[in-house]
Structure 1
């Protein structure tokens, strides 16, 4: 995490608080957000499992890079399988809980915030905005969450 990014977190927290608090107003003014509401899907899971399985049946004539990939991932496959099983259990548990959905940017990292000539911080690149639990944005503040959470909560209202 860059020094500039860490320094911007106290300013990002209230921006996210105002965004989340503005959910009713935003939804009243826009027809749709760029991305569908969070459903806690794992869109990569089936393909990843299939790809890992296909590495077991490589023939000699396939591209050498695939053999190298198999050799690289092979020792880690049991751990990958354990992680995928765990994430599936977490997905099930998360879907079973109730959530308050707010408008989330979902990608408010250092590459998606800029300062204008007046030194004001702005969040850019809204292509993945969606309704999601506020944690979808708050994880970006993790490095300084105890410090910046009061500013977020104050902006939230």
Structure 2
């Protein structure tokens, strides 16, 4: 009988630790990273996350780069909200605020035409090299919305751009 109670206690402790871990680690940022060969010697590498903005709206955050013959051609960030949640005002750069207060702007890739009003895409080629593994950034979105990109995702983006 003593063995049963010891086993039950240790099982409950393990369950408690697992549940506690769920509280401290964001579970809405599961990433899907993949590489697609678009043509011979031309690859598209993507990192996809679902994040919530300061109002609780869900966003698809897609960081991707294209390489051709081993040379990086583009590094872009695409932001997709649910329809009718936000309308991007093209052409308008994306304001990026670093946790240390530094501010940069990413060029709007949909200045001419956007596939949908709830989609924005920005040139991250000049930005990615300025991100460090300890940074988190805040993206200023239309309608006073903001989206925080945690340091763990920044590390992932940097590792993709170093491929």
TM-score (norm 2): 0.23
TM-score (norm 1): 0.24
- Structure 1 or 2: larger helix share? 1
Greater relative contact order: 1 or 2 (C-alpha under 8 angstroms, separation 6 or more)? 1
- Structure 1 or 2: larger strand share? 2
